Structure 1
Amino acid sequence: MGKTKDQPGLMMETHTDTVSNGVHFDGAFGVIVSLEVTRFLATGYTTKKIFSAV
């Protein structure tokens, strides 16, 4: 997905649990956002940096 392979990539990561000081769906929201960005990039959008969802 990335055009420039000699630059550091962009990585998204999150956790699936909810922490006591976070909002109710903080972990699940991070997972959904990462999946949605991955879905969007799979439609053919190209980034300058390599993208990885962890």
Structure 2
Amino acid sequence: MDLEITGLRAIIDASDVGATATIQMIDRWIDEATRFQSWFESHATELVELLKKPGEI
């Protein structure tokens, strides 16, 4: 699964942060990751059920 947040550059690995990342950009990455984790955890049961039914997603 690939997720994209509009206006936020993707990080594939630590080298993607590089010298161009600002403190504000890193803070936003952390905020968005935390927000996604909360969303994922709140939908975990539903997602598990969907993954048990291949082809229906």
Query: Do Structure 1 and Structure 2 share a fold, with TM-score over 0.5?
Result: no
TM-score, normalised to structure 2's length?
0.39
TM-score, normalised to structure 1's length?
0.40
- The structure having more radius of gyration, on CA atoms, is 2
Larger RCO: Structure 1 or Structure 2 (Cα < 8 Å, ≥ 6 residues apart)? 1
